[in-house]
């Protein structure tokens, strides 16, 4: 009754998110697996796995292993993979429209892409997709009415902050910033993460 609502750390969420998808690949949900095995499958130590599982509030029972389905359900609940989240993509240039296609063709997810935005109306007309597209001036309205909680930003750096502001006003809870600009959320409680190919390659090249 203590740790149930504690905020989870990012590393833990990353590990458990991945474990969730690994567990989904088991054919037989009745299987039981040890923490050692789960560690091997996800590239972590058995101790970390046990600590994480404990951290999300799930309890197995000592001696017996973890039940695949029960554990998966518990992770899903705690990380709220069970309730569907609606997402949008703002900016449909080469990168944005590729992410749109990539996203809408990825199955098995609790994330649903429900809108795309671009400032150029004639660009909207040329894109072939089943996702609803809107001109950028409607961001606030559409985000609010469709209750979109996640936004992927793929616009030129110069306009990124403005887009972030409008997404915040519409009421998103999280923003994935794919532009090279540094942006901040005015509104309290909006999480922003940066997602940029060049930065990632830089990190790789500096490590190597």
Which residues here bind DNA, judged by CB under 7 A? 9, 11-12, 33-36, 44-48, 50-51, 53-54, 59-66
Q: Which of DNA, a second copy, none has residue 139 at its interface (CB below 5 to 8 Å by kind)?
A: none
Q: Which residue has the tokens 């671009």?
A: 118
Cβ atoms 186, 168 nearer than 8 A = yes
Among residues 33, 49, 71, 87, the one that binds a second copy under rule CB under 8 A? 87
- 121-180 residues near a second copy, rule: CB under 8 A: 149-150, 152, 173-176, 180
Q: Where are the alpha helices (DSSP H) in 62-156?
A: 68-78, 94-105, 121-126, 139-145
Number of neighbours of residue 95 by Cβ within 10 angstroms: 16
Smallest gap from Cβ 13 to a second copy, in A, equals: 5
Q: How far apart are CA 183 and CA 155, in angstroms?
A: 12
Give dist(CA 24, CA 5) in Å, integer: 25
Residue 67's binding partner among a second copy, DNA, none (Cβ under 5 to 8 angstroms by kind) is: none
**Shortest gap between Cβ of 172 and a second copy (angstroms)?**
9
Query: Helices 35-42 and 10-24, interaxial angle, to 10°?
Result: 100
**Minimum distance of DNA from residue 196's CB (angstroms):** 18
Sequence-separated contacts (24+) of 41-47 with Cβ below 8 Å: 42/15, 42/18, 44/15
* Residue number, 78 or 166, with CB nearest to a second copy: 78
User: What are the structure tokens assigned to 198, written together?
Assistant: 């060049």
3 binds, among DNA, a second copy, none (CB under 5 to 8 A by kind): none
Question: Which residues here bind a second copy, judged by CB under 8 A?
Answer: 7-8, 10, 13-14, 17-18, 21-22, 42-43, 79-81, 85, 87, 94-95, 97-99, 101-103, 105-106, 109, 111, 149-150, 152, 173-176, 180, 182, 184, 189-191, 193, 195, 197-208
């Amino acid at each position: 009754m203590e740790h149930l609502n504690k905020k989870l750390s990012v590393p833990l969420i990353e590990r458990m998110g991945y474990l969730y998808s690994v567990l989904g690949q088991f054919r037989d949900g009745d299987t039981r697996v040890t923490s050692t095995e789960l560690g091997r499958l996800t590239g972590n130590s058995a101790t970390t796995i046990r600590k994480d599982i404990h951290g999300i509030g799930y309890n197995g029972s000592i001696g017996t292993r973890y039940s695949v389905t029960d554990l998966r359900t518990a992770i899903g609940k705690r990380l709220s993979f069970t309730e569907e989240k609606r997402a949008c993509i703002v900016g449909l240039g080469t990168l944005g429209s590729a992410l749109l296609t990539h996203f809408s063709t990825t199955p098995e997810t609790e994330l649903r892409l429900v809108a795309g935005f671009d400032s150029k109306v004639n660009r909207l007309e040329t894109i072939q997709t089943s996702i609803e597209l809107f001109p950028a001036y409607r961001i606030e309205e559409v985000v609010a009415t469709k209750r979109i909680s996640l936004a992927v930003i793929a616009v030129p750096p110069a306009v990124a902050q403005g887009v972030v502001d409008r997404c915040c006003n519409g009421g998103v809870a999280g923003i994935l910033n794919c532009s090279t600009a540094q942006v901040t959320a005015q509104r309290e409680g909006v999480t922003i993460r940066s997602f940029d190919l060049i930065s990632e390659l830089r990190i790789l090249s500096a490590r190597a």
